[in-house]
Structure 1
C-alpha cells in the first residue's frame, strides 16, 4: 500500500512546490521559489524533438566537407551598446552590422545579441558538452537571416536563426579583452540592472579566425523558453581563456528572486535521431579502451608469444 501512496504524495508535493510560476533553471527550484523547471509545462515547444543543448559525441559526428571556415564580416567593427542582467543571464545587444556566411549556412545572418551561460564560481556551466565534458561557461552569439527585421519574425523560419557557441576554459592569466564586460558586471548585479558598455567588438571576444576552423553543426532550438526549433547551431571546438577570477565574477550576479545567478544552463536534451556534423578541422576523440586496444594490436601485444 505504501508503494502506491508514495508516488501520489510525491506528485502532490511537486504540484504544491511548482505552482504556476515563471520558468526557471534547476539551480533555482525550491519549495520557497515557485517556478517551473519543467519547461514543457511552461511551453509545449520545449518538449519538441529537436531541442538544445546536446552532448556532442565526437566519434559519432559526421565529417562534412561543406563545413568550410565561416566568413565573418564587420566582426572587427567597434560598437557601443548596453549590458543587462535580464534575471537569467547577461545580455548585450549588437548592431546588425556584423554578419556571418559560408560554412554551408543557407544565407547571410546578421548579429542580434550575445549572452552567456555559466556554473557556480567557475564550476561546470556550459550548455553544450563535448564527449560528456562540461566547460565553465558558454557564449552564444545570436544571428538572424539578414532579410528579417526582428528576431520574432526570424523564429517563424525553421532556419531563421543561426547561433555561434563558444566554450571557455580556465587560464592562469586574465583575458584583458574581456575587461569591459567583467568590469561592468559590478554595476548590474541585481536583476534588470542595465548600463552602458564601453566600446567593444565581437572579434575581441572570440578566437581568431584561424582558430575557428574546427566546429560542429546541428539543427536545434533556443535553449530558453519558448525553445523554438528554428536554430542552426555552430559549436566551436577551441575554447576562450578566462582567469578563474573572471569566471567567478559572473557568479556575483543575482537571479530575479535575488539568489545568486549560478547554474543558468539547460540540461542536455535527447538527440532523437538528429545528425551532428563536423568540419574537417574538428578533432574526433576515441575512448581510452579503444585507443589501448588499437595500440596493442599495432605493437603485436594482443597475441601471446
Structure 2
C-alpha cells in the first residue's frame, strides 16, 4: 500500500494548489507561487501532451544498431564564440552566431548551431533530462541546431525535421575541467534572471568531448523539452560524458529563477516512448576491440602452426 501514498498526496496537493498560465519546474511550485509545473505543461502549450515528447529513458538493450549513424562532421566548432551568456529565468543560455554547423551522423541535412543551454540538479545531484537505463546524470548540455536554410528557430520548428539537438551528459570528476573556466566564472555575474555577461574565450569544441570520442550515440525523434514542446527535433544523445568537478557542478545551482528561488532541478521528467524506436550508432571502441580480437586469433593460429 505504501507506494500509493505519494500519488494520493500529490493529487490532493494539485487539487488545492492550481492556477497560473506560466510554466515552471517542479522545484519552483508552491502554493504561494502557483504555476504550471511539468505535469501541467499542456496548460501552457497543448503540444506538451503530444505522443512524441522528450526527454526519454534510453533502454540500451532495446536500442537498434543503425549503420547509417556514421561520424559527424563539425564545422567551425573550434571557432571562439562571440556572444553573451544569459540567465533566461529557466537556464543558462548562450546564443551562437550561425557559423558552426553539423552534418553527417545520419542527419537528413546540414544544421547550423543556434544556441546552447543546460539542465541540472541540486548542488551536483541528479539533473540530466535524458536517462540511460534509468540512470540520471548530474547535468546535461543541449546544443540546438536548425536546418541551414532557415533564418530563425520558430520557422525551423514548423518543419518536422527542422531542428537537431545534440545532448551531452556530465559526470563528477575529482579534478576541475579547465576548459569550462570561462563559462563557470561567468555564472556569478548572472545569478538574477535576465542578466547577461560576455562569454570569454570559449568554443563549442572545448565544451564537448573530442571528435574521436563522439562516435557512440543514440538517435530518436522527439520534441523540445520546454514549452511549447514542439515535436520537430531530431535528438542525438552521446554516450561519453563530460567531466566536471563537484564545485563546478554546484556553481550552476547558485543561479536564481525569476521568482528569486534557487535555480535547481530545472529538468523535465522523462516522457513515454509511445512505440518510438531508439537507434544506436555502435562504437569505434567496439570496432577497435573486434580488430584486436581478430589479430590475436590470427597470431595464435600462426603460432600454433607446426614448423
| CA deviation after TM superposition for structure 1 residue 16, in Å | 4.8
| CA deviation after TM superposition for structure 1 residue 21, in Å | 3.6
- Residue 61 (structure 1) aligned with residue 63 (structure 2): yes
CA distance in 2 between counterparts of 1:146 and 1:15 reads: 46
CA distance in 1 between counterparts of 2:78 and 2:18 reads: 45
CA distances 1:44-101 after superposition (whole Å, capped 9, x unpaired): 1000000000000000000000000111011011121100000110000111110000
* Aligned counterparts, 1:123-272, within 5 A: 123-272=125-274
Instruction: Determine helix, strand or coil for the equivalent of 1:80.
Output: coil
Calculate the aligned-residue CA RMSD, in Å. Answer: 1.8
CA distance in 1 between counterparts of 2:226 and 2:117 reads: 12
Structure 2: runs of 5+ lacking an equivalent = 1-6, 287-307
CA distance in 2 between counterparts of 1:124 and 1:13 reads: 24
CA distances 1:7-49 after superposition (whole Å, capped 9, x unpaired): 9x98786355221241011111111111101101211100000
1:275 matched residue in structure 2: 277
- Normalising by structure 1, we get a TM-score of 0.88
Instruction: Determine helix, strand or coil for the equivalent of 2:185.
Output: helix
- Residue 32 (structure 1) aligned with residue 32 (structure 2): yes
| CA deviation after TM superposition for structure 1 residue 199, in Å | 2.6
CA distances 1:162-197 after superposition (whole Å, capped 9, x unpaired): 000000000010000000110000000011111111
2:294 matched residue in structure 1: none
CA distance in 2 between counterparts of 1:130 and 1:177 reads: 26
CA distance in 2 between counterparts of 1:188 and 1:233 reads: 29
| CA deviation after TM superposition for structure 1 residue 201, in Å | 0.6
- Does the 8 Å contact 2:21/2:43 carry over to 1? no
Instruction: Determine helix, strand or coil for the equivalent of 2:86.
Output: strand
Instruction: Determine helix, strand or coil for the equivalent of 2:170.
Output: strand
Question: Runs ≥4 in structure 1, deviation > 4 angstroms?
Answer: 9-13
1:115 matched residue in structure 2: 117
Instruction: Determine helix, strand or coil for the equivalent of 1:143.
Output: strand
CA distance in 1 between counterparts of 2:200 and 2:10 reads: 50
Instruction: Determine helix, strand or coil for the equivalent of 1:31.
Output: coil
Task: Return the structure number with greater helix share.
Answer: 2
- Normalising by structure 2, we get a TM-score of 0.87
2:295 matched residue in structure 1: none
Instruction: Determine helix, strand or coil for the equivalent of 1:179.
Output: helix
Aligned residues: 278
CA distance in 1 between counterparts of 2:285 and 2:271 reads: 23
- Does the 8 Å contact 2:21/2:35 carry over to 1? yes
| CA deviation after TM superposition for structure 1 residue 121, in Å | 0.2
Q: 1:12 to 1:27 in 2, by over 3 A?
A: closer
* Aligned counterparts, 1:11-90, within 5 A: 14=14, 16-37=16-37, 38-90=40-92
Structure 1: runs of 5+ lacking an equivalent = 1-6, 285-305
- Does the 8 Å contact 1:221/1:231 carry over to 2? yes
